[in-house]
A and B are shown apart, each in its own frame.
Chain A
């Protein structure tokens, strides 16, 4: 889960550093002198936990324990995790200095959010449900950490999709085991020393959780779409955001079937672009890049005219084999047949668009509520 040094772009590193500085600040403010030794021991516990290798099928993985730390420490888990990561960076060079902020965010943010939620539940539920809450909070923390790490890699630029995907996939079994182990740990603690789960005043998480679950939808709502079809010897298309805004001045790159770049252009102010059809290729791929992580691509099959890949791409054929004036009737027939998927696709597209606007509104509301909640929570605590 540690992202190594030298990979991420400066913007992301700075954002990560700022967010974790905020988290650490809040955590330190919540931490009284009295809490420091206990929090330090939790830091050491977190560190030792990450050295424990647990067999998972044929392989083995180490525990992350960010959910448990969030559950017990609440906001104070931010500085604890930060210190543990500093130690790991200096001792083992896992992670690094410049990535400290981003890595702290990746591990602490989900841990604190889900941990606080579980903390809220654990003081209220029956014994069995308590364990389920703790276990699922731990599993979700690990999974969200992996998602965050993947997102950070993905946002850093072209070419990191594969490791990002692998990162998420490899953390699914780890998350399951982490959930099971954490549930058992909590069952042990509840038997031995239940007062450890002191209330962390977690009102706010009831608001933050939906916020986090809405975040992916909001990413979806801002998705760019690309639409391309063949007109004569030109390949014409349009780039637009799901909100309907035109994607002006975006880079569009044309690749051949082997992934080689064969052309590049920019969209005009209406989001339109135009290429001359490459004669020799059978299949081409268009990639539209609208800046930080907003990418859309479509594949156009010049020979058959059927769309491949995602639901959005609309393709349609140049008509190989039919020369001008040879057989008008069959041409028309083919045209109808070829246009059919286009119409269908258009309809689906419009439906899809309406859906995203709804999600857009929902996630926007979620954010507003979440931020309001955070602010209120902060003020409430200070008094």
Chain B
């Protein structure tokens, strides 16, 4: 399974300390919730695009990812021009959309996309373990961090096991179609996976106890703020202030 599509690279963004990256992603997303006007949203999207460019992400993979996400976003937006009442506007191809609904749809589309793009640029450029590590330094509850850690550690193991069992079923002539038999076969595969993961959980726990696990992982390496981290934080801060300023100006005119 290729999950961490964007985590590898040696761009400036990849080198940043994951702690400010996590904080920045959260801050940006929360900030954008409160932005409701076009200029600031366009600027936010532009900022996200610049971030993605700085991270030197693989364009094909990125577009593919954005396309999938936009299926969800469009599903919600597409009805807005007709379901929100307002004065109609005449456009080619679209029968009588209302201006208000159309505006809402465009704003939503911009907002969602800039959030997604920004999070890909900032969060997905760190590995999950780095994010987990950052969470540990950011004083998240230790049980949650361990849960996160073990989940990610065993996700691939389980996935591989699932595919192994599925391959075994296919090798025995199993054809996936919508029938009770298919559901039963999938259920047995998943049931097997379930029982094995329960057993594995128990084994992992015992193995950890044998190695003197006391409920938390000691952190060997510590993060250090570099000059580039401070620079990035300052750039991000000014960006947010500019956005806030734009939003405020538009709102009061």
Which residue numbers of B lie inside 8 Å of A, CB to CB? Answer: 3-5, 25-26, 29-30, 32-34, 65, 68-69, 72-73, 75-76, 79-80, 82-88, 96, 98, 101, 104, 108, 111-112, 115-116, 119-120, 123-124, 128, 131, 141, 143-144, 146-155, 157-159, 162, 176-178, 180, 182-184, 186-188, 190-195, 197-202, 204-205, 208, 215
A45-B158, A90-B123, A96-B119 known; A52 vs B190 contact (CB < 8 Å): yes
Residues of B within 8 A of A259 (CB): 82, 85, 88, 96, 98
Tell whether, in the assembled complex, residue A93 and residue B119 are in contact, meaning their CB atoms are under 8 Å apart.
yes
Tell whether, in the assembled complex, residue A6 and residue B33 are in contact, meaning their CB atoms are under 8 Å apart.
yes
Does A236 count as interface, using CB distance less than 8 angstroms? no
Q: Which residue from chain B places its CB closest to the CB of A90 in the assembled complex?
A: B123
CB distance from B102 to the nearest CB of A (A): 11
A6-B112, A42-B197, A97-B119 known; A57 vs B205 contact (CB < 8 Å): no
Distance between Cα atoms of A42 and B151 in the complex (Å): 8
Distance between Cα atoms of A180 and B193 in the complex (Å): 17
Contact of A163 among B76, B120, B131, B208 (CB under 8 A): B76
Tell whether, in the assembled complex, residue A33 and residue B150 are in contact, meaning their CB atoms are under 8 Å apart.
no
Contact of A39 among B30, B80, B87, B147 (CB under 8 A): B147
Contact of A45 among B25, B88, B124, B194 (CB under 8 A): B194
Does A86 count as interface, using CB distance less than 8 angstroms? yes
Tell whether, in the assembled complex, residue B198 and residue A196 are in contact, meaning their CB atoms are under 8 Å apart.
yes
Tell whether, in the assembled complex, residue B72 and residue A189 are in contact, meaning their CB atoms are under 8 Å apart.
no
A177-193 residues with Cβ-Cβ distance < 8 A to B are 177, 180-189, 192-193
**Main secondary structure on B side of the interface with A:** helix
Tell whether, in the assembled complex, residue B108 and residue A55 are in contact, meaning their CB atoms are under 8 Å apart.
no
Contact of B182 among A10, A33, A55, A159 (CB under 8 A): A55
What would 16 more interface pairs be, CB under 8 Å, given A188-B187, A188-B195?
A5-B29, A5-B116, A5-B119, A40-B147, A43-B151, A52-B162, A82-B144, A87-B148, A91-B5, A97-B29, A98-B29, A98-B33, A159-B79, A160-B83, A162-B79, A253-B85
A37-B208, A93-B65, A180-B180 known; A47 vs B151 contact (CB < 8 Å): yes
A41-B201, A188-B192 known; A6 vs B32 contact (CB < 8 Å): yes
Tell whether, in the assembled complex, residue B183 and residue A44 are in contact, meaning their CB atoms are under 8 Å apart.
no
Contact of A158 among B73, B84, B201 (CB under 8 A): B84
A84-102 residues with Cβ-Cβ distance < 8 A to B are 84, 86-87, 89-94, 96-98
21 residue pairs from A and B, CB less than 8 Å apart: A37-B208, A38-B201, A39-B147, A40-B146, A40-B201, A41-B150, A51-B159, A52-B162, A56-B178, A80-B151, A90-B124, A94-B72, A97-B26, A97-B123, A159-B83, A186-B191, A193-B195, A255-B85, A259-B98, A260-B85, A261-B85
Which residue numbers of A lie inside 8 Å of B, CB to CB? Answer: 2, 4-7, 10, 13, 24, 28, 31, 33-34, 36-45, 47-49, 51-52, 54-57, 63, 68, 79-80, 82-84, 86-87, 89-94, 96-98, 153, 158-163, 166, 177, 180-189, 192-193, 196, 253, 255, 258-261, 287
CB distance from A81 to the nearest CB of B (A): 11
A36-B150, A55-B182, A96-B119 known; A159 vs B198 contact (CB < 8 Å): no
Total number of A-B contacts with CB less than 8 angstroms? Answer: 247
Tell whether, in the assembled complex, residue B3 and residue A91 are in contact, meaning their CB atoms are under 8 Å apart.
yes
Residues of A within 8 A of B4 (CB): 91
